[in-house]
Amino acid sequence: MKITRRRLLGAAAATGAMAALPRMSFAATTMTLGAAEIDTLSDGHLVLPASFVSPDPQATEILTGFGITTPQVEAPCNVTLLRDGTHTVLFDVGAGPDFMPTAGKLSAALDALGVTPEDITHVVFTHAHPDHLWGVLDDFDEPLFANAQHMMGKAEFDFWIDPAAAETLDEGRKVFAAGALRRLQVLEDRLLTFSAETEILPGIHAHASFGHTPGHMAFEIRQGNAACMIVGDAIGNGHVAFAAPGLIAGADQDPETGIATRQALLDRLAVSQMPMIGYHLPDGGAGRVERADGAYRFTAEL
């Protein structure tokens, strides 16, 4: 497995059409697994209440240890792009323009790599929260990735396509359900659902990682003896989730299931030393899990 890192600077100047946009930087990590090249692309970041990390007072102490003392945290958003010569696969599609002004930058990141929406053959969703799904439609509410087969775990799709989903969420997240329902209704005729523990595309295996949402999936990309795990939001940050994985995560819909999933994933990744990509992890999201002080830590060293 060959691994390098690169910074793509000045993506706004990559084409004349974007020259008037602000200069931006997009972190990209390249991993070569056999014939597959994997890049992580920045969709920007979210600004969230610290309680979204965890409402537990212990989380405040951990965040302080990482130099985070504000009532809000910034969460990077890392979209994964896989190209194997046959398939060009996006894992999640970012937030689009309607969620937060600090996010929705995926199109510029793709431009910086010379990839167009028409090049994408498959869009695979870890789950249907706004920062992972809402970038799927264009300005005319048509699928942005018009040539792509869209794919989502069946349990996840069934939850969000149900108009009653909003009734199960707290007031602040009801907009999540409305936004997911609108987009999934547009995609329904071109969206393929799948079960956990199946190979959804050659070399891509879906693993149940429920808790953050009812049908959240992680994806193991394997080429021969080399592999990488895309964990989505099952491991939701680079600090508290590693240092105290048994704490409730404020962003999880089913916190207790989320804890069990997180602990199992961290243990597996620490033992196997399989590289991982996390949607909200720092430095482009790619790295490894190490055991540390009775818990874990994230390292961007690949």
Per-residue pLDDT of 23-61, as tens digits, reads 344 646 678 888 899 999 999 999 999 999 999 999 999
Q: What angle do CA 227, 293, 47 make, to 5 degrees?
A: 70
Residue 172 pLDDT level (bands cut at 50, 70, 90): confident
Place of tokens 């620490």: 270
Q: Are 218 and 261 in contact (CB under 8 A)?
A: no
Top pLDDT among 14 and 69 is at 69
pLDDT of 111-152, one tens digit each? 989 999 999 999 999 999 999 999 999 999 999 999 999 999
Least confident range from 7-11, 119-123, 185-189: namely 7-11
pTM for the whole thing? 0.92
Of 3.40.50.1100, 3.40.640.10, 3.90.78.10, 3.60.15.10, which CATH number belongs to 2-299?
A: 3.60.15.10
Q: What is the CA radius of gyration of the chain?
A: 18
pLDDT of residue 1 exceeding 90 = no
What is the SS3 assignment for 31-91? Answer: EEECCEEEEEEEEEEEEEEHHHCCCCHHHHHHHHHCCCCCCEEEEEEEEEEEECCCCEEEE
Contact 96, 77 (CB under 8 A): no
Contact status, residue 55 vs residue 38, Cβ threshold 8 Å: no
Q: What are the tens digits of pLDDT across the range 153-171?
A: 999 999 999 999 999 998 9
The model's pLDDT over 193-238, given as tens digits with 9 standing for 90+, comes to: 999 999 999 999 999 999 999 999 999 999 988 999 999 999 999 9
Q: Which residue has the higher pLDDT, 22 or 294?
A: 294
